[in-house]
Chain A
Amino acid sequence: MTAAESKVDAYARAILAIARAEDRVAPVEDDLFRFARALEGSESLRVALTDPQLPLERRLAVVDELTAGKALPLSAALLGMLIGAGRVNDLGETVDRFVALAAASREREVAEVRSAIELDEEQIARLAEALGRATGKAVEVKVIVDPSVLGGLVARIGDTVIDGSVRHRLDQMKAQL
């Protein structure tokens, strides 16, 4: 494990410890996971949060504004901790590590699923069961709404990717052409 990976792991374990102490692991997972995916999809947000000319208070205000009413205050505070520590560039990786550690603590693996539309609870449960049968592991599904998949789903469990998206089929067609 490199020094950067060690830091990511340390922050992820710290977040997990705080979330456990507050007994809010699952909602914090969801909040941070969504924020991390939103940060990945928005270059302007990443630039704003990493701008050294922007005072820290202003950057934290951006986070508060984005999470107000949509995430727990604890989640916003943890995000503020990461941004204040200058970990914005590693935020996605840190959150993924935190989610993985949390799932592992429940003896589960995280399946990162991308879909063009939101999935309801019943679909997520059936999807988790199906992915569990396919991989032979207990799986927790984290859904990311990503219109670029066009249709269908893409699931990534560790290094395994099960791609049933329309985008993937179009890419295959393009490769064949």
Chain B
Amino acid sequence: MRIRTLLLAGLLAVGMVMAMPTGAHASGGGPKEVFECVEKAIENNTEGKSVDYEAFENALEDCKKAKSLVTPALPEIIWGGIAFLIVLAVLMKFAFPALKKGLKAREDKIREDLESASRAREEAEAESAQYRAQIGDARSEANVIVEEARADAERIRREVVARAEAEAADTRERAQEDIRLAQERAVSDLRAQVADLSIGLAEKVVERNLDRDTQIALIESYINSVGNETR
């Protein structure tokens, strides 16, 4: 910071020094006086008579010695230095603190921006890590879901197979039961038919042999047997 301030002051001093000759020229009229001196020398040596080159050269040399185009006069240097110091003091009193303050504010702002960027980067990294963790969780969860789905599918497949086998066994048992019942029914029907035929035959035999005497004997037998069943 200090180096930066010193560098700024140096640059300002150089600028002032560079400005000084211009100031001297403007206020003191150095080059202008040289030019006037040269013009005067030309007029004096060329007016109405032949040109005295030697005198002209001497006059020009005098003009050169009288006023320098580069080196200012001592009073100008003194006043310029005083002005420089005044300007420097004013600058150090008023401008530099404001400049310093502005620089400080800019530095703070840059620092804050940097810190903010750092924080943003950290937050971004944190979020990225969180996203990565979430993606990892999601993948784990997806794997779990896939495994559960696979297990469910396998369980359902087993249940379907078991149910189909049970239904097939049930159908087989029912078919066997139907066959058994049909057999029993057929045997029963056959027995009933045999019984009907036998009884029909027996009826015919009985009817043929039931003459009146037999009928009376049966009636007497009934009366005697009922009469013996005393209540």
Question: Which residues of A are interface residues toward B (Cβ below 8 A)?
Answer: 115-117, 119, 123, 126-127, 129-131, 133-136, 150-153, 155, 162, 164, 166, 170, 173-174, 177
Contacts and interface: CB of A to CB of B under 8 A. Distances in A.
Interface in B194-231: 194-196, 198-199, 202-203, 206-207, 210, 212, 214-216, 218-219, 221-227, 229-231
B202 A173 contact: yes
Interface of B: 191, 194-196, 198-199, 202-203, 206-207, 210, 212, 214-216, 218-219, 221-227, 229-231
B199 A174 contact: yes
Contacts of A123: 219, 223
B198 A177 contact: yes
Contacts of A150: 203, 206-207, 210
Nearest to B202: A170
Contacts of B229: 133-134
A177 B194 contact: yes
Given A130-B223, A133-B230, A151-B206, A166 B218 contact: yes
Contacts of B221: 152, 164
Contacts of B196: 174
A151 B203 contact: no
Contact of A151 (B218, B227, B230): B218
A150 B221 CA distance: 15
Nearest to B222: A164
Contacts of B227: 126, 129-130, 133-134
A174 B197 CA distance: 10
Contact of B215 (A116, A130, A162, A174): A116
Contact of A155 (B194, B199, B226): B226
Q: Which one of A126, A131, A133, A151 has the highest number of Cβ atoms from chain B below 10 Å of its Cβ?
A: A151
26 contacts: A115-B219, A117-B216, A126-B223, A127-B222, A127-B226, A129-B227, A130-B224, A133-B227, A134-B226, A134-B227, A135-B231, A150-B210, A151-B206, A151-B215, A152-B221, A153-B219, A164-B222, A164-B226, A166-B206, A170-B199, A170-B202, A170-B203, A170-B206, A173-B202, A174-B196, A177-B194
Contacts of B202: 170, 173
A50 to B, nearest CB: 33
Given A153-B222, A164-B222, A170-B202, 11 more contacts: A116-B215, A126-B227, A133-B229, A135-B231, A152-B219, A152-B222, A153-B223, A164-B225, A166-B218, A173-B199, A174-B199
A151 B211 CA distance: 10
